[in-house]
Chains A and B, each alone.
Chain A
């Protein structure tokens, strides 16, 4: 059942799959990771943005203190972090676990997904260690339905990424959260970030990467609703229009900043040669 790809069936049996999770974690601890893998497969196959294991709140402490780092990292994207807003200790335990697992595509995807979810909770955000943000630079490919990417577009997350003063992390963050699958919570903070953080003359290659990403996203959006719904059923006509406006605006701002930077560069060059 949990191995099936039938979305409706998986959603209707969400509670049963949730109930099985603690047992799967114990199995993983005793060297039998198959059940946990199956459950995680089911969670991914459900394509539910909110396929989270809400009921495991009381299990969270046991999970993060007893389970293997690998299991912690893989299960944590499905934990109800919005209901654990007063558990900064859990974030620290999770961060320790992320530092112990070797990098793989699956692990990076889970860590980034969780990181963005935690960051979207204002109370938990301060507990994220700075070096954990470095996972963003690995730029894993996030699935079409990804709660972390959706909630990570909040303005305070953008601000947090900016406060790190690391342009690579900031760029990676923007490249990850800009996608054809989600509406942006607030594009205003991103516009500000583009204007203030990417306006320098020497950042042309960063802007080029961002423009390339926006072109890709807008190109995907241009393929229409039918195409997008094949992977994400949450998108509707209204969302599509809003996303086109949002990403169009971001591109405008980025092009504007880029022109300004080029203009400044030309002026500087001319100034150099003239004087």
Chain B
């Protein structure tokens, strides 16, 4: 995080770091107190978030419904001309004009019968021409096309109206608060609903409604243009021109929205394109490189070259005939082989890539379906911890209040070790920690007033990182965090002299960054309370475990062993639990399985 951004948060934080009354009085909170405090903050944040969420989607749906109902009304009831609006007028005129062309024209039939009647009375009236009843051969092909497009447009708008109505119901269900249960249970219930909204891509469904309307509009424009082309080309050209301009403008805003996230003309299309563009680029790149490789390895070119070098036909007439003979015999085979290879390279590989992409999307959907609990009881009953973790993750992502972050992370510390947590929680903890650091002239410092948050977030991050590493060492989240860390805290950043030097050092180790200089742990005790010492050694022991597993069970990093040595060297000796953690570090390096050993010094 940029230094300025962090600084700007300081004022907010200073005013918002509210301590509970028991903490103010110096009484440490227990686990339940932290939980209750956290869910108090959660309710407040959730109310604000849900209000905004409901307002946004409700307004969108209302707009859609008004637009569609007008269109639907116009399309089905052939409304009166008194209704104003471009869309209604065009649709009305279009439908009225086209609809009769789809069935036999009764006026023509009447005229023909009259002609026959007159002919029966006086067969000289029409000269040699014998009138006959016209045979209905079906509606003109063009009008069928036009009408089909019209009805497609109508169906799309009707479908979007249907979804909009359903959307209103879904939103109402989300907004309805379960009046039973405690405040914590209601919060958990709400989090389940929110998780469902994310898992089932509710936002995307809502975003698709305007897309369907846009498609309906486009279809109407196309149908109008095609119809008018049959009636009058000049008039049709005007409509085609305006429609094309609209389409070009739309494509332009999609392009602009895709190219720049800050562009105000964002549409669902640009969001989709932004997601798909890197994949498309990869496919394009693989196709291009495959084409390049294929051309280099072209058997046709090689055959021609070899024949030219062998016969040298430009200098000797006698060699021309055998040269041509060989070319006729060999080149078609070479071309066939080249076409095969080219097809394999240019078509097969991108096809495989696209296939893999589709498989990945389908798999993620299937996995989501499987991972989602089917009933609310199933969610709430066995794993309240997992729900708490989801609430914590959401709070860290949504809230900008550092006081809320502190309360959230304190609750998280009481829940260690973590189980079944979303890997995104590691990122959230890391982002919070990074948010407490200000870097000025290659020197890192903890933002004033955020020392406690820095401590708690660093420890939470270390533990969550450790547990994720142990549970899923191949997780992409781990790699992303390492990359992010290198970006935020470059190697040349000095971290010496910080009150949280040790924690910073550990974070650096954990994120695979070499420290700026050899870490000295001599100041381990200075300025640290006994509780902090215990926390730090516990975190270092966890890091040792992670690192040991990361290097495939070979060794614990030198710096961490040095930390253990320095801590064990202290005089008077450190606290028993600190010593126990140091012994754990050494035991890990010696390859001992400490998972079944108790936490006390005696056990170690």
Task: List residues of A whose CB falls within 8 A of some B CB.
Answer: 1-2, 12-13, 15-16, 18-23, 26, 55-56, 58-59, 62, 66
Contacts and interface: CB of A to CB of B under 8 A. Distances in A.
B163 interface: no
Given A1-B591, A15-B558, A20 B566 contact: no
Contacts of A22: 565, 568-569
Interface of B: 522, 555-556, 558, 561-562, 564-566, 568-569, 571, 573, 579, 582-583, 585-586, 589-592
A15 B564 CA distance: 10
A55 B571 contact: no
Given A26-B573, A56-B565, A62-B569, A19 B555 contact: no
Given A2-B590, A15-B589, A58-B522, 12 more contacts: A1-B591, A1-B592, A16-B556, A19-B561, A19-B562, A19-B568, A19-B585, A20-B583, A21-B565, A23-B579, A23-B583, A58-B566
A23 B568 CA distance: 6
B569 A16 contact: no
A20 B569 contact: no
Q: Which 5 A-B pairs have the closest CB atoms?
A: A59-B569, A19-B565, A16-B589, A22-B568, A62-B571
Contact of A13 (B562, B565, B569, B589): B589
Contacts of B583: 20, 23
What secondary structure prevails in chain A residues at the interface with B? helix
B569 A56 contact: yes
B571 A19 contact: no
Nearest to B591: A1
A59 B555 CA distance: 23
A138 B172 CA distance: 95
What secondary structure prevails in chain B residues at the interface with A? helix
B373 to A, nearest CB: 45
A58 B521 CA distance: 11
A258 B573 CA distance: 59
B565 A55 contact: yes
B509 to A, nearest CB: 15
Given A19-B564, A20-B586, A58 B591 contact: no
Contacts of B522: 58
Contacts of B589: 13, 15-16, 19
Contacts, number: 53
A104 B396 CA distance: 66
A56 B562 CA distance: 9
21 contacts: A1-B590, A1-B591, A1-B592, A2-B590, A13-B589, A15-B589, A16-B556, A18-B565, A19-B565, A19-B568, A19-B585, A20-B568, A22-B565, A22-B568, A22-B569, A23-B568, A23-B583, A26-B573, A56-B565, A56-B569, A59-B569
B380 to A, nearest CB: 46
Nearest to B522: A58
Contact of B561 (A12, A16, A59): A16
Nearest to B587: A16
Contact of A58 (B561, B569, B586, B592): B569
A58 B129 CA distance: 125
Contacts of B565: 18-19, 21-22, 55-56, 59
Contacts of A15: 555, 558, 561-562, 589
Nearest to A63: B569
Contacts of B556: 16
Nearest to A1: B590
A18 B571 CA distance: 17
Nearest to B563: A19
Nearest to A18: B565
Contacts of A20: 568, 583, 586
B524 to A, nearest CB: 11
Contacts of B579: 23
A153 to B, nearest CB: 32
Contact of A16 (B566, B571, B573, B590): B590
A28 to B, nearest CB: 13
A26 B569 CA distance: 9
A31 to B, nearest CB: 15
Q: Which of B579, B589, B591 has most A Cβ within 10 Å? A: B589
